[in-house]
A and B are shown apart, each in its own frame.
Chain A
Amino acid sequence: MRQFIIDIYYFLLALEPRYKIVIFMVIVLLILAAIMISVVLRERSRKNSVEARERRIKRQVEPIIQEVVFTDLEASDFKDAVKKINRIVDSTLYRKSNMGILNELLIYYHRNLGGEAFERLENLYREIGLKQMALEYLRNGEWHIRAKAINDLSTMRMGETLFEILQYTDADNVHVRNEAQYAAVKLGGKKAMSFLNDLESPMSEWQQIRLLDQSRKFEYELIDNIGPWLQSKNDTVVIFALILMRHLNQYHERSQLRKLLYHRNERVQEKAIETTQELAYSEALENLYEVFELTKTVRVRARVLRAMGELGGPKEAGFLREVLVSNREYDLVMEAAKALKRMGRHDVLNSYRENELSEKGENIVKHVLDDRI
């Protein structure tokens, strides 16, 4: 065997350099593949052990959590429960990981519970030290750890951390910033939305949807800041303010809304028309005529027709009939027909059908009158 290895060694030594390089690379690659297979298998074992630990912790902790959450414990019993939980998760090697498991467990319970149980769970979160851990994570260098910490604090309704969270509402990292904005609204309510006053970075639609979801949980009240937001230089803030007006029935600032019907950004314009319609702002009908004439975008014009169908009277019915008869754009004809139907003007639609002005138009009217569609 020894001789064989020596022979191979001398054989390799005698080879040209390019042979040596290729042989070396082949060996390295195969060794690498073997190492990766063993790493994959080790990773599996690690995952299994983590899962086993997770199951064990859950099995031990869950009864305690349930006791804390569903019974009215004395202060001393509560302290005992906290001690017990701390003992379970205590470990020299795995404390951080165990705390993570506990964190997820409490968040899971929090999402599925309400009422008094909510508050008890929040107290438990504080006492176990999870709140402290999240606050420490806020100062972590990794963006995803900071974002997750903010998310956890807001999920667990740690209102006292609002001040720390507000510092991140215009953070450089978009994920951290989004989580902080969401958490601010969740924990601080309408007042915390003041970050919108001077927000320079654009708000994504995703973020707007999240913030709206939170805002809809507010008790009904007029939002004073809507006015400045509608005048913001940041178009995404304007759009969000319009969304808030619409969904939270903010009937003030109508003059500002009227101005936005002429906004240079078509998306803002569209939202403004939608809001006008939803808030039943019929005084803006004259402006809608102007917008219809001024804009060339079919989408915006169709929105105007839809709004007219909701807000208009006989004059608008005449206008819509005119669009139905004279316009060639499918979307506009369809929208005009739908608007007439919404106004209850079946007579206009039926007379159009009977007169058979155009096959296309007739099909559209049939379509609109078919309640199954």
Chain B
Amino acid sequence: MIEYDTQNSLVDILIYIFYFITYGYTVFVMLSYLILGVISVVQARKYLRRNTYTDYLNILQSPEAPSVSILAPAYNEEATIIENIRSLLSVRYPNFEVIVVNDGSRDRSLTKLIEEYQLEPVNFAVNYRIETKKVKNVYKSKNPTYNNLVVVDKENGGKSDALNAALNVSTGDYTLNIDVDCILEEDCLLKLMKPFLEETDQNMIATGGVVRIANNCRVEKGRIIEVNVPNKLLAQFQTLEYLRSFLLGRVAWGSLDGLLLISGALGVFQKELVIKCGGYDKDTIGEDMELTVRMRRYAREKDIDYVVGFVPDPLCWTEVPESWSVLRKQRNRWTRGAVETLLSHKRLFLNPFYGKIGMISYPYWLLFEWLAPLIEAFGIILLVLFSLLGVINISFLYLFIALIYGYTVAFTIATLYIEEITFFQYKKRRQLLRLVVAGLIEPIIFHPFVVYCSVTGNWDYFFEGKKAWGSMKRVGFSKPGSNRGQKITGGKKSNPKSGPMPSNSVRTRPAT
């Protein structure tokens, strides 16, 4: 009898601990999102207020504008490369060059570039400040119109290696690192450079900008001319996810100077510091986050009073996967990349020397980006187990799930509201309602899928030792013979035959 009582109380204690962790953690996550959301709204409004009288014309005409190199690595991008380079060349900024790195493409990317832009090899003396695979040739255009275009042809070495090669060739003081398949807003560079030029007290080392989803948007001559909500439900889910992440998450982290990730799709960096840090890490799959963290760490260790900025404007548009299998690979890779970066910089964890990133950002990422899906999956398994054993209160569990669902929906709707009062990109009423409907379904379908991808990503990282990228076959923003008003459709399926460095697939992480 006594023995039975003891066992029973032990189970009770375990269940109590389980309740405490699961419910407490969930409430903590909810509160953190709420706080970040409030900060973001305040910041976005402040930014918009300033923009009511900001005139970018001054810098556009200025001989004192700092030089910027746009670095665009490309691998098997023949479907879109010509249009995308055209879009990059038409960016509004007075002093910039575009460096396209053909990273040993197996398709006709280079041939197409040579033909379209009248390229010829030049005697470029590459300064290998960062070690890379061999650069075969550097091309410049015979046509003076493309005077600021440099094309680097090198042996395949992966995205990081391509970016490092571009860094070696670049002459600008700053680098805008982008994915060649992204569509930039015309004044993207002006807006991204402004924080660098405005900062007086600290050293601005990098700025990021908001990336939005281009699926189903209308593109003309390399520019988005009509913003639409994607047709496919999966892309709609990602639209909501990106909105939450960029509009609410990163804007807040930017204002708190706690950003750990400047997206690989869009970020301006102080070139000298990137080089001093050793450039992009070739051995990581999450090279964008790794570089951001390493730069911050380097700056702190060298006692540089630095800051990382974020521009809340939608400046870049990217295509997201519309197939579950491609999305699974992408999310799996993001998870592995984040885990790798977090583990390689574990020294930051709760280390007061690193200030906010050590005490707030890193623990946040660890708890809410890496561990959240694992805790969630573990919690679900235990809940099912406990309910089968009849040791937990099922009705309270249902209610709690309803609470989480209610919160997620309310938060998504709040995001749409904030989008409405700030940047107002989805102008048609029907589009908004489609997003609302997607927001109602998302917690039931999309969220569990993302959790699953994250769990498998962790499994692959720790038990399978996977390091390779996933891939996405691109349809392209334009069809041959026409570049007028094409709508963008997402990648159809994965391309298992991709080479060592697969297509620069969707790599814009939306994590908060």
User: Which of A20-28, A84-92, A119-127, A308-316 touches B?
Assistant: A20-28
Task: Flag whether A322 is at the interface (Cβ < 8 A).
Answer: no
Complex Cα gap A47–B62 (Å): 36
Q: Are B406 and A40 in contact (CB under 8 A)?
A: no
Q: Are B123 and A208 in contact (CB under 8 A)?
A: no
CB distance from B400 to the nearest CB of A (A): 6
Among A26, A144, A175, contact of B403 (Cβ-Cβ < 8 Å): A26
Complex Cα gap A151–B53 (Å): 7
Complex Cα gap A210–B432 (Å): 39
What are the residues of chain B within 8 A of A280 when measuring CB–CB? Answer: none
Of residues 1 through 25 on chain A, the ones whose CB sits less than 8 Å from some CB of chain B are 18-19, 22-23, 25
Q: Are B406 and A37 in contact (CB under 8 A)?
A: no
Q: Are A41 and B396 in contact (CB under 8 A)?
A: no
Task: Flag whether A247 is at the interface (Cβ < 8 A).
Answer: yes
Task: Flag whether A80 is at the interface (Cβ < 8 A).
Answer: no
Mask, A217-260, CB within 8 Å of B = 1, is 00000000000000000001000000100010000000000000
CB distance from B415 to the nearest CB of A (A): 10
Complex Cα gap A89–B18 (Å): 65
Task: Flag whether B231 is at the interface (Cβ < 8 A).
Answer: no
Complex Cα gap A29–B30 (Å): 12
Task: Flag whether A330 is at the interface (Cβ < 8 A).
Answer: yes
Complex Cα gap A331–B413 (Å): 54
Among A18, A29, A203, A367, contact of B406 (Cβ-Cβ < 8 Å): A29
Interface centre among B46, B50, B64, B400 (most CB of A within 10 A): B64
Task: Flag whether A209 is at the interface (Cβ < 8 A).
Answer: yes
Among B62, B199, B395, B399, contact of A213 (Cβ-Cβ < 8 Å): B62
Q: Are A36 and B417 in contact (CB under 8 A)?
A: yes
Which residue from chain B places its CB closest to the CB of A367 in the assembled complex? B125
Q: Are B432 and A372 in contact (CB under 8 A)?
A: no
CB distance from B420 to the nearest CB of A (A): 5
Task: Flag whether A266 is at the interface (Cβ < 8 A).
Answer: no
What are the residues of chain B within 8 A of A205 when measuring CB–CB? Answer: 64, 66, 196-198
Q: Are A26 and B125 in contact (CB under 8 A)?
A: no
Among B59, B125, B421, contact of A43 (Cβ-Cβ < 8 Å): B421
Which residue from chain B places its CB closest to the CB of A16 in the assembled complex? B396
Q: Are A22 and B58 in contact (CB under 8 A)?
A: no
Complex Cα gap A207–B200 (Å): 10
B contact face: mostly helix, strand, loop, or mixed = helix
CB distance from A352 to the nearest CB of B (A): 13
Among B61, B142, B399, contact of A22 (Cβ-Cβ < 8 Å): B399
Of residues 187 through 214 on chain A, the ones whose CB sits less than 8 Å from some CB of chain B are 202-210, 212-213
Which residue from chain B places its CB closest to the CB of A203 in the assembled complex? B200
Task: Flag whether B451 is at the interface (Cβ < 8 A).
Answer: no
Of residues 311 through 367 on chain B, the ones whose CB sits less than 8 Å from some CB of chain A are none
Of residues 342 through 356 on chain A, the ones whose CB sits less than 8 Å from some CB of chain B are none
Contacts known (A29-B407, A30-B406, A41-B429); A212 close to B198, Cβ less than 8 A: no
Task: Flag whether A32 is at the interface (Cβ < 8 A).
Answer: yes
Task: Flag whether B301 is at the interface (Cβ < 8 A).
Answer: no
Contacts known (A144-B49, A144-B50); A373 close to B406, Cβ less than 8 A: no
Contacts known (A213-B58, A330-B127, A372-B120); A206 close to B64, Cβ less than 8 A: no
CB distance from B201 to the nearest CB of A (A): 7
What are the residues of chain B within 8 A of A19 when measuring CB–CB? Answer: 395-396, 399
CB distance from A224 to the nearest CB of B (A): 23
Task: Flag whether B416 is at the interface (Cβ < 8 A).
Answer: yes
Q: Are A206 and B123 in contact (CB under 8 A)?
A: no
Complex Cα gap A32–B409 (Å): 10
Complex Cα gap A32–B410 (Å): 7
Task: Flag whether A334 is at the interface (Cβ < 8 A).
Answer: yes
What are the residues of chain A within 8 A of B407 when measuring CB–CB? Answer: 29
Of residues 3 through 40 on chain B, the ones whose CB sits less than 8 Å from some CB of chain A are none
Which residue from chain B places its CB closest to the CB of A365 in the assembled complex? B125
Complex Cα gap A26–B417 (Å): 20
Complex Cα gap A100–B49 (Å): 15
Mask, A85-111, CB within 8 Å of B = 1, is 000000000000000000000000000
Task: Flag whether B124 is at the interface (Cβ < 8 A).
Answer: yes
Of residues 53 through 102 on chain B, the ones whose CB sits less than 8 Å from some CB of chain A are 53, 58-59, 61-66
Interface centre among B123, B199, B436 (most CB of A within 10 A): B123
Complex Cα gap A175–B140 (Å): 42
Contacts known (A33-B406, A144-B52); A370 close to B123, Cβ less than 8 A: yes
Task: Flag whether A364 is at the interface (Cβ < 8 A).
Answer: yes
What are the residues of chain A within 8 A of B49 when measuring CB–CB? Answer: 144
CB distance from B208 to the nearest CB of A (A): 19
What are the residues of chain A within 8 A of B106 when measuring CB–CB? Answer: none
Q: Are A18 and B125 in contact (CB under 8 A)?
A: no
What are the residues of chain B within 8 A of A43 when measuring CB–CB? Answer: 417, 420-421
Among A41, A47, A243, A367, contact of B64 (Cβ-Cβ < 8 Å): A243
Q: Are A36 and B432 in contact (CB under 8 A)?
A: no
Contacts known (A26-B403, A205-B197); A330 close to B129, Cβ less than 8 A: yes
Mask, B195-212, CB within 8 Å of A = 1, is 011111100000000000
Among A236, A363, A364, contact of B200 (Cβ-Cβ < 8 Å): A236
What are the residues of chain B within 8 A of A334 when measuring CB–CB? Answer: 125, 127
Q: Are B52 and A29 in contact (CB under 8 A)?
A: no
Task: Flag whether A44 is at the interface (Cβ < 8 A).
Answer: yes
Task: Flag whether B382 is at the interface (Cβ < 8 A).
Answer: no
Among B53, B124, B406, B416, contact of A26 (Cβ-Cβ < 8 Å): B406
Complex Cα gap A251–B233 (Å): 66
Task: Flag whether B42 is at the interface (Cβ < 8 A).
Answer: no
Q: Are A373 and B200 in contact (CB under 8 A)?
A: no
What are the residues of chain B within 8 A of A175 when measuring CB–CB? Answer: 50
What are the residues of chain B within 8 A of A370 when measuring CB–CB? Answer: 122-124
What are the residues of chain A within 8 A of B417 when measuring CB–CB? Answer: 36, 39-40, 43
Q: Are B403 and A22 in contact (CB under 8 A)?
A: yes
What are the residues of chain A within 8 A of B400 when measuring CB–CB? Answer: 22
Q: Are B420 and A40 in contact (CB under 8 A)?
A: yes
Q: Are A33 and B197 in contact (CB under 8 A)?
A: no
Task: Flag whether A366 is at the interface (Cβ < 8 A).
Answer: yes
What are the residues of chain A within 8 A of B399 when measuring CB–CB? Answer: 19, 22-23, 26
Interface centre among A205, A213, A334 (most CB of B within 10 A): A205
Task: Flag whether B414 is at the interface (Cβ < 8 A).
Answer: yes
Task: Flag whether B384 is at the interface (Cβ < 8 A).
Answer: no
Task: Flag whether A157 is at the interface (Cβ < 8 A).
Answer: no
Task: Flag whether B194 is at the interface (Cβ < 8 A).
Answer: yes
Contacts known (A37-B436, A202-B200); A29 close to B396, Cβ less than 8 A: no
CB distance from A74 to the nearest CB of B (A): 35
Task: Flag whether B468 is at the interface (Cβ < 8 A).
Answer: no
Can you give 26 contacting A-B residue pairs, CB < 8 Å? A19-B396, A19-B399, A25-B403, A29-B407, A30-B410, A32-B410, A36-B417, A37-B413, A41-B432, A144-B46, A144-B52, A148-B53, A179-B53, A203-B200, A205-B64, A206-B59, A206-B197, A209-B58, A209-B62, A212-B64, A366-B123, A367-B125, A372-B140, A372-B142, A373-B124, A373-B140
